[in-house]
Amino acid sequence: MSRRHPLRPFRPLHNPFLLLSPTPIPFLPPHLCENPPALSNPLPTSRITKLTMPPCLLQEFLPLHTLFRDATTRIDLGFDGSYSGLSRVAREAVERNTPRNRARNRAGASAHDNTPVLEQIPMGRNELDTAISLLSSASSPTNQALGFIVIIQMLSEAARFRAIEGLVRTTMRETYDPLMRGLAMESLETHWSDLSEQIQRAQQRNETGFDRTIMLHNVGNERREVNSVDSPFVRGVAMLLYDRNGNCNPGSGPHRHDEL
């Protein structure tokens, strides 16, 4: 994964979604959303690139039949995209794989029956390859949910946080110790909405301080207070959850967004 430039100063972006697209398409300003351009040529499928675009283009500029030209049937999954929803469905697959994970991974060896599901799922290059195949070939919803958890953390979360990106990078080698979710990783993932909200509120006021303190964990599992855009934790945020209503209030409570 490539390094991204620091997000300073913080500006509310027009919903910076990280998508997978068969071909690069330039970012369009919001005023073009009323009349989005048409695609003049068929999309090649030889490469996958990152694409940033405003929300209106998700339906207008890249409709589903453009991204998935050969698809004829839509299948609704029996679970939502939150970590709680995914882990609830993936539990059966995780419990089935636990003995193998404990044998392979030193971190996984410490897992016990009361260990949260998300902390029992190993991540790495081989696990990512398997997870991608599970999206289409999984024999059950529990395996699909497991695949989504691996993909979301290794791609979406790595795009949002440089710290997670660094952890994921270490598992891209030929030989590696699979990555297991710890307190530091969990605290970033579950507070992305809070960080995004406070960063944008501070930017609106032209101040550096937050309205309220956010508690995170560092790599040593120590609790740290984050109350300013000057915090090292904030400097490690590479992507914000943008509030399309313009009021810098994405919601309330943890898991306020679909994780993917």
SS3 category, 209 = strand
pLDDT over 70 percentage in the chain = 62
Whole-number Cα distances in Å, 70 to 66, 73, 82: 9, 9, 28
Q: How confident is the model at residue 55 (pLDDT cuts 50, 70, 90)?
A: very low
**Long-range CB contacts (within 8 A, 24+) of 77-82:** 77/141, 77/144, 78/141, 79/141, 79/145, 80/258, 81/148, 81/152, 81/258, 81/259, 81/260, 82/255, 82/258, 82/259
pLDDT digits (tens, 9 = 90+) for 109-139: 555 567 899 999 999 999 999 999 988 887 8
CB 209 within 8 A of CB 202: yes
CB 157 within 8 A of CB 189: yes
Q: How confident is the model at residue 20 (pLDDT cuts 50, 70, 90)?
A: very low
pTM (2 decimals)?
0.67
Of 243 and 145, the one with more pLDDT: 145
- Homologous superfamily in CATH for domain 182-260: Ricin (A Subunit), domain 2 (4.10.470.10)
Sequence ranges of the chain with CATH classification 4.10.470.10: 182-260
Active-site annotation, residues: 157
